[in-house]
Amino acid sequence: MGRGRRPGRSRADGAGSGHRPLRAEPGEERLSCAPRPGPAATDPGRRHHLRGRSAIVTTSIHVRDLSGGTGLELRPGRVVIAGFTGRDHAAVEAHIDELRELGVPVPERTPTFYEVDPSLLTTADRIEVSGSFTSGEVEPVLIVHNGARYLTVGSDHTDRDVERSSIEASKRACPKAIGREVLPLASLATWDDLELSSWAGGAPGRYQEGRLAQLLPLESIVASLGEAVAGRPATAWSALLRARAIENQAFVIGCNAAGVNHGVELGGHSAIIDPWGEAVAEAGAEPTRLDAVIDPSAAADARADFPALRDRVWASPPSSIKVTEGAP
């Protein structure tokens, strides 16, 4: 079992609020939240308590939807940890300055996202760690499954020794415990009204508590995630299409699957690129129809204006190669 943080030790992931964090043991974390009135919340005064209970898994995770009692089998394709998500920007900056003084590499932008191997996810009561100085705190976990969003709790357990040289490496060094019970996000009260609490072992009183209002709004975090993580494949895809068009001085039509397939968000961003690498038409991440009118003579004009293809070495029979003796 990982140890809690030593007194005075600063937390490096800043998971959220920028305030001094509290220790929490995986398996003793609870999220208490008041459900939003509606079909999934017939008793507005009812309180849900989510606990982590099950066994460690590497390929799939089974959870239960508390709103309907149904089981869900999750096969996570990507696991991303959001750090430095506090709403109080001044507090987050102060925390970053504190880390900088300790010699911890700090992020260039906030919030910051760290992608870890999905096999690190577990719903076990206990986790095994290799380091002697690890800790974690209870945090909200957003799960996207078949287009629906669910909320549970988890612990971003981190190796604090490794953290001194790399926050990203420290997050990949420990299992990530999450609750085995989830609630549809749509059935809950607003994000800011949700309360996050944890108890450490048998100690009296709450070890950690606070409202999610201390964190950035959920949609803001998701939007930043899209720019930082999902945006990278889209940027690479666009760059490759443009490169192929320019190097071949031809129109390139790149058709990419979009939407969600078996819980996996597809790339989208289909595009039609002209011989100069400019987009004639370009789609977004959502499924859509893309129409454009192109002029084939534009490719011939581009090759005439910039005859780079003449310098390309084409494959040819050996008999056609003339070697001049004494030539440099």
Same domain, 249 and 100: no
DSSP characters over 116-154 = E-GGGEE--SS---SSSSEE--EEEEEEEETTEEEEEEE
| Percent of the chain topping pLDDT 70 | 74
- What distance in Å separates the CA atoms of residue 244 and residue 246, rounded to the nearest whole number? 6
Are 287 and 267 a contacting pair, CB within 8 Å? Answer: no
In terms of DSSP H, where are the helices of 150-280? 160-163, 167-171, 218-225, 231-248
- Whether residue 312 is predicted with pLDDT greater than 50 in this model: the reply is yes
| Span 199-233, pLDDT tens digits | 877 777 787 888 899 999 888 888 777 666 556 67
Decide which of 153, 184, 216 is a domain's last residue: 216
Are 153 and 38 a contacting pair, CB within 8 Å? Answer: no
Query: What's the DSSP call for residue 215?
Result: B
Same domain, 147 and 191: yes
Same domain, 186 and 292: no
Same domain, 67 and 199: yes
Number of compact structural domains in the chain: 2
**The pair of three-digit structure tokens given for residue 114, joined into one six-digit string:** 């760290």
Does residue 17 lie in a domain region?
Answer: no
- Whether residue 3 is predicted with pLDDT greater than 50 in this model: the reply is no
DSSP characters over 41-88 = BS-TT--EEE---S-B-SS-EEEEETTT--EEEE--S-EEEEES-BS-
pLDDT at 250: 94
- What distance in Å separates the CA atoms of residue 44 and residue 46, rounded to the nearest whole number? 6
Distance of CA 242 to the CA centre of its chain: 27
pTM of the model: 0.56
For residue 48, the enclosing domain spans: 29-216
Backbone φ and ψ of 61, nearest 5°: -130, 135
Closest CA to 41 of 145, 149, 184, 151: 184
Same domain, 207 and 232: no
Same domain, 181 and 233: no
Does residue 186 lie in a domain region?
Answer: yes
Decide which of 176, 199, 216 is a domain's last residue: 216
Are 155 and 177 a contacting pair, CB within 8 Å? Answer: yes
Mean pLDDT of 128-132: 80
Domain holding 166: CATH number?
A: 3.90.850.10
- What distance in Å separates the CA atoms of residue 177 and residue 182, rounded to the nearest whole number? 14
Same domain, 211 and 228: no
Domain holding 284: CATH number?
A: 3.60.110.10
Closest CA to 25 of 64, 59, 51, 54: 51
Distance of CA 274 to the CA centre of its chain: 33
Same domain, 138 and 271: no
Does residue 262 lie in a domain region?
Answer: yes
Decide which of 198, 216, 234 is a domain's last residue: 216
3-state secondary structure of 213: helix
Mean pLDDT of 105-129: 88
Same domain, 240 and 186: no
Report the DSSP beta bridge partners of residue 312: none
Does residue 21 lie in a domain region?
Answer: no
- What distance in Å separates the CA atoms of residue 247 and residue 257, rounded to the nearest whole number? 25
| Percent of the chain topping pLDDT 90 | 20
**Cα→Cα distances 283→83, 246, 263, 271, 295, Å:** 30, 20, 21, 6, 20
Tell me how crowded residue 232 is: count the other CB atoms within 10 A of its CB: 10
| Span 242-285, pLDDT tens digits | 999 999 999 999 999 887 776 567 788 899 999 999 999 998 87
Q: Provide the residue count of the chain.
A: 328
Tell me how crowded residue 202 is: count the other CB atoms within 10 A of its CB: 6
